[in-house]
Chain A
Amino acid sequence: MVNEKHTEKQIWEFLSEIPDPEIPVITITELGVVRKVELSNEKVIITITPTYTGCPAMKLFEDEIIKTLHEKGIETVEINLVYSPAWTTAWMGDIAREKLRKYGIAPPVKGSEDKGILFESGPKVVACPRCKSENTILKSQFGSTACKALYQCETCLEPFDYFKCI
């Protein structure tokens, strides 16, 4: 019996305490990975979607969700993995974007979903998360995790991660 003790809102609150395993300053709800919370007499069903198909953090997301809800006294938790609609950085709010910037990761530039296929790489301007200079260059489309690209600031010379806009 779960729904006598907890509301859907409370469960969203519990989930919003879980940090992203790779970028601990933002939570899995801010990232937009949690899509739906459903309650019934028998169980709680949490629907999640991967950021990237090969994202190795997905298993950790599942384990952390189950562990956190167990700690809150919810015993039967089911994880439902969906691929549609495909995850997009557009689901990331302003607060999460600001947290990323403070952490040293340039957040995805709004409205620049990367659809160009040939030689139209990335957004025009990615500001350095440290010195805010807009004089930065793309070093590599691929960075330390699937969701990031590598940039370098030409003003303060620091390399930095950019959260790719997809």
Chain B
Amino acid sequence: METKDALINYCLRLGDSSLILGQRMAEWCSNGPILEEDIAMTNLSLDLIGQARTMLSYSGVVEGKGRSEDDLAYRREEREFYNTLLSERPNGHFGDTVVRNFLHDAFFYYLYQALKSSKDEMIAAHAAKSIKEVTYHLRHSSEWLVRLGDGTVESHEKVQESLNDLWEYTGDLFEMNEVDEVLIKEGIAVDLQKIKLEWDKTINTVIERSTLTRPEDAYMHSGRLDAMHSEYLGHLIADMQFLQRAYPEAQW
């Protein structure tokens, strides 16, 4: 595999995970449990969509076929998206969203921390920029996890159940293939198994503080690397892409 092809795919992975999680957070707009959280979740969405823009634009530039960030976000089919399976999980109740984001924020945090030293200048700049935003995201989701886990009997049970349900999508975050192999050799990508060690530590610290129990590793879903998704992504992108599909070339 050529470095260029690997890089195009790698940027799509980063961009797509931010885009899909950002779209999920946008779904909370006007549906938040309290006003402050409604604002917080749409702020998170804005950061994530901003991060997606950088990486999708860059993927288009590397590809060199004139595809813009909008073409990539709004004109691709479900089987062309490389986002993590975790990012597409439905919002569910507020606790489900908190747990999903917590697991994902910690992943982004350590991934960007490592990518700051990527030999690809654009990826390194993107990581250095995004880490500032993701730090706030991780703190936000961790604090809510503690509040809900160490809260009432009901909130504790609910988030423990969210954690048990979402756990089987965490294996997918750290899977690697030839794309990673090629880019790790070039010093562009990072070894996700090393990221997992850091991720594990933070997950354990926060779970313990939340008085929750870390689920046992059992069956893990996979699919991200081959753009194989759960039934939820199609519905999400149908909603996200509706305007561009109905009115192609529509501009602000």
Contacts and interface: CB of A to CB of B under 8 A. Distances in A.
Interface of A: 50, 52-56, 82-87, 114-119, 121, 139-144, 146, 150, 164, 166
Contacts of B194: none
Nearest to B40: A142
Nearest to A113: B132
Given A83-B129, A119-B142, A140-B39, A114 B135 contact: yes
Contacts of A86: 125, 128-129, 132
Interface of A is mostly: loop
Contact of B49 (A54, A84, A141, A166): A54
B202 A118 contact: yes
Contacts of A140: 36-37, 39-40
B140 A141 contact: yes
Interface residues of B, number: 37
Contacts, number: 93
Given A139-B36, A140-B36, A143-B43, 16 more contacts: A50-B129, A53-B130, A53-B133, A54-B49, A55-B50, A83-B126, A83-B128, A84-B121, A85-B128, A86-B129, A118-B202, A140-B39, A140-B40, A142-B40, A142-B140, A150-B36
A117 B139 contact: yes
B109 A117 contact: yes
Classify the secondary structure of B's interface with A: helix
A57 to B, nearest CB: 11
Nearest to A121: B139
Nearest to B41: A142
A109 to B, nearest CB: 16
A53 B36 contact: no
Given A84-B124, A119-B142, A50 B39 contact: no
A90 to B, nearest CB: 12
A54 B138 contact: no
B47 A53 contact: yes
B54 A118 contact: no
Interface in B183-211: 202, 205-206, 209
B50 A53 contact: yes
A52 B135 contact: no
A75 B40 CA distance: 41
